[in-house]
Amino acid sequence: MNNLSTCKEWPLLAQKALNGERLTEEEGLAVLEASDDEVLPLLQAAFQVRKHYYGKKVKLNMIINAKSGLCPEDCGYCSQSIVSTAPVNKYTLLDKDTLLAGAREAMTRKAGTYCIVAAGKGPTDKELAQVVDAVKEIRETMPLKICACLGILKDEQAQRLAEAGVHRYNHNLNTSKANYPSITTTHTYDQRVETVEKVKTYGMSPCSGVIIGMGETNQEIIEMAYALRELDSDSIPINFLNAIPGTPLEHAGRTPAMKALKVLALFRFICPSKEIRVAGGREVNLRTLQPMSLYAANSLFVGDYLTTAGQSIGVDHQMIEDLGFEIELNAL
């Protein structure tokens, strides 16, 4: 057994994270390979880091699937990809009124950030103009932060989104560089990195995360966390694969709940000051242990995801209240 895998060592990792020191690969492996008996002390240590930066506050985010099922990409995890046979809704970019209605719904759910997501390799000029128009009105009429996720951007597109008032841009790394070709072939890992760097250049907050459960090794999970630390991603959504029938990864097994909690603790230690969000697949993978995730993470998506159902908003709000935590309103 790794000699770090004892409850006496986890507070030392928490202190190292608080000191701004990077965990070694050995320490990262100790977290991921720890006995399930160590999960409670491990989460307690992760909570000390989370509490230092975020107290007991929880940021809520809501997604709107602004364009669905018409994607030319071949991402193996996605029900909207060109290689998927999953029965999903297919429609072009939603009109302005529908995007505005989604923003109002985000406010009723107490979400501080409204995420406009459109499937595709990148936006057309017409699509970008539609998003920009909606964003400007949302910014003028509602106290919401806006995150856009529209694929790979050109410089001029990134500039227009920033000028319209988009606070944050999401472009997930998804998996490790070595594992990337087994997940998709229609774009590269490096293109993902370039887009994240580009949005930073134009003043938008970078949001980039991962999907756990796509055949990656523990070493690769650590590499993903290191990569996001180097990218200085402000918000890190941790998705756990929800294997959808009709996608190439439909037979992938779920991530055990205890393993998912260890992953969240790892990301808190490696990216201590960043927003760690329990994202897609939490309901299917964490199941009844979802409340425990918030001892490491400080953010949730509320409501449905792109093509899969989420947990009831009332249940999420109750979960936060029962933990003695507090929803952080209008939080970026």
- Whether 271 is a known active-site residue: answer no
To the query of whether residue 7 is one of the catalytic residues in this protein, the response is no
HEC assignment per residue over 34-80: CCHHHHHHHHHHHHHHHHHHHCCEEEEEEEEEEEECCCCCCCCCCCC
147 among annotated binding-site residues: yes
In the chain the first and final C-alpha atoms are separated, in Å, by: 41
Q: Is 78 a catalytic residue?
A: yes
Q: Of 50, 160, 192, 207, which residue is the catalytic one? A: 207
What are 146's two structure tokens?
A: 């806006």
The rounded distance, in Å, linking the Cα atoms of 37 and 45 is 14
pLDDT string in tens for the chain (332-residue length):
344 555 668 999 999 999 999 999 999 999 999 999 999 999 999 999 999 999 999 999 999 999 988 899 999 999 888 988 999 889 999 999 999 999 999 999 999 999 999 988 999 999 999 999 999 999 999 999 999 999 999 999 999 999 999 999 999 999 999 999 999 999 999 999 999 999 999 999 999 999 999 999 999 999 999 999 999 999 999 999 999 999 999 999 999 999 999 999 999 999 999 999 999 999 999 999 999 999 999 999 998 888 888 899 999 999 999 999 999 986 66
271 is in an annotated binding site: no
3-class secondary-structure state, position 302: coil
The alpha carbon torsion through 149, 153, 157, 159 (nearest 10 deg) reads 90
149 annotated to bind ligand = no
Residue 242: Cβ within 10 Å count: 23
Active-site residue 282, yes or no? no
Catalytic residue (choose from 147, 149, 160, 168): 147
Q: Which of 75, 160, 168, 282 is catalytic?
A: 75
